[in-house]
Amino acid sequence: MVSVADLLTDGRLPGNYFAQDLYVRGSTELGLLENRRGDRLLAIPDSLLQAIYSGLEKETGQASGLVLYNCGRWWGKNFYARFCEELADYYKQPLSSLSMAEFLQSLQQCWKTHGWGQIHLDITYRDRGFLGVEIWHSPFTAAAPQGQKPAGDLERGILEIFFSQLTGRELRCAQTSCTAKGDDCNRFVLGLEKRLQPVEAMVASGQAHQAIMQTLMQQG
């Protein structure tokens, strides 16, 4: 029989570090939000997100996507550093030593707890050098102007730098579907830049995610 003591690490039972009821703490009297380490958190209302997108569109025009993408890369770099640090402190081992199940659970719960929607990794194409990512209920593309083009430039930048640092490879990220243009979720594919070059043209021509992935799988 397994003893409960055998399950403990340093006198505690490791669980889901990013569980919302444990991770987010705050004082309504002071108007403060903190995580379980005491780091400050910021709550952004939907109206502010919408104003940011609208203001960027007016001030920078077609360059607004590039601005958001670069902001996402900066955000993703800092997010990756915090994510690694917090999990290393909690599990008493580096991120590279965690099991795939622990990593996926942590990333999915972290994304949800921060209010960024629900993230799912699709490893179907990993043997061919691609990683698929789905983000459901994204507040970012919900606030973005609705139209015929993907509007997940911020998330694309975050994912690109996060997984580049995680894998130690210079990856690129392309968006293949977007709720801002009527799709059911935001879908992204990560891979080497040269292999992702055809994606933008395929998206522009209206090809669906699965058709795009099939074309990528047929590449040499």
Would you state the pLDDT for residue 15? 67
For residue 162, pLDDT beyond 60: yes
Percent of the chain with pLDDT over 70: 92
Tell whether the model's pLDDT for residue 137 goes beyond 70: yes
Looking at residue 202, what is its pLDDT? 94
pLDDT of 124 > 70? The answer is: yes
Integer angstrom CA distances of residue 62 from 40, 91, 117, 177: 34, 44, 26, 19
Average the pLDDT over each of 75-84, 92-101, 192-201 and give the range with the smallest value. Answer: 92-101
